Each structure stands twice: as structure tokens, then as C-alpha cells.
């Protein structure tokens, strides 16, 4: 079971392949705020809704100084299909070994339909310009999460 991050913690560094197989690092975004969100699987209803919500609000987030990276255990080929099929604008990276998911506390035991299972815990971590955790939200809902995040971050247009 992975430890959950707290505000002020250093955000764990990572480099993962994106939908095109290109390496994406958290360090590439130094000096900008980054919303790193973790979701269970590409091409599933809840994850599609969440990815579309982030894509729909990408300009608003970018205008407020935020980059967005979505992390799932999917391989780049599946991420590419997801991006094309849903016309997603967010950067999607794959973590099939779940090392980054674990480092961020986004993999472990969770309740699914009343049963305890081990898997991806839908989570969002906001990393500040210095690479520290500003917010760490766990067990978030796929629907309405982006709108709530915009309100919490006080980004107008929400």
C-alpha cells in the first residue's frame, strides 16, 4: 500500500512514455504548476468523462498557469487510441509497472461495488512551480471533479 502525499511534500519525479511513446518528465514542467491526475483505464466511461472534462478546460487551466498530465497503467498504444477516439488535448502517459502510481499514493486498496480490491485510486495531485505538492486529492469522482478543481483553485470560468 502506498503512502498518500500531503501538501508541502516534494512531488515524486517521473519520466513516462506518452501516447506517442515520447518520454514526458515532471521536470519538463519546472517553473509551472502541474495537475497530475491518475485514472484506472483509458477507453472506459468514467475515465473518458474525466479526460474530456480536462480537455474542455485545458485553455482555462493553461491560462491560469497549469499544465495537465493524465497517468494510467495503460500502454502508449492504448493511450493513442484513447486520444484519437475522444479527441483529447491533455498529455496522457502510461505507467504499466505502476511505480509512479504507487509513488503518488494512487494505487492500493479501494472499494469497488462494496468489495475491497487493489487497483488505481482515482486521484489528482496539484504540483507547484517548485515541484512541491500543493494539493493531493484521493478517491475523487470522475464526473464533476474538474469543475470542483477549478472552483477550489479559484480559476474563473468554472
Active site members: 47
SS3 16: strand
Of all helices (H) and strands (E), which one includes residue 67? strand 66-72
Q: Which of 135, 101, 103, 100 is nearest to 121 (CA)?
A: 101
Q: What is the rounded distance in angstroms from the CA atom of residue 86 to the CA atom of residue 54?
A: 12
- Cα–Cα distances (Å) from 85 to 14, 42, 45, in that order, read 27, 11, 13
Amino acid at each position: 500500500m502506498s503512502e498518500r502525499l500531503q501538501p508541502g511534500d516534494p512531488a515524486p519525479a517521473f519520466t513516462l512514455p506518452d501516447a506517442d511513446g515520447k518520454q514526458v518528465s515532471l521536470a519538463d514542467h519546472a517553473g509551472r504548476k502541474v495537475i497530475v491526475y491518475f485514472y484506472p483505464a483509458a477507453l472506459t466511461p468514467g475515465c473518458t468523462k474525466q479526460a474530456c472534462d480536462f480537455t474542455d478546460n485545458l485553455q482555462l487551466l493553461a491560462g491560469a498557469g497549469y499544465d495537465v498530465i493524465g497517468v494510467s497503467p495503460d500502454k502508449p498504444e492504448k493511450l493513442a487510441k484513447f486520444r484519437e477516439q475522444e479527441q483529447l488535448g491533455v498529455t496522457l502517459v502510461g505507467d504499466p509497472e505502476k511505480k509512479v502510481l504507487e509513488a503518488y499514493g494512487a494505487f492500493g486498496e479501494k472499494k469497488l461495488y462494496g468489495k475491497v480490491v487493489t487497483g488505481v485510486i482515482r486521484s489528482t495531485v496539484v504540483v507547484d512551480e517548485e515541484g512541491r505538492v500543493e494539493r493531493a486529492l484521493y478517491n475523487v469522482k470522475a464526473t464533476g471533479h474538474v469543475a470542483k478543481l477549478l472552483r477550489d483553485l479559484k480559476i474563473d470560468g468554472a
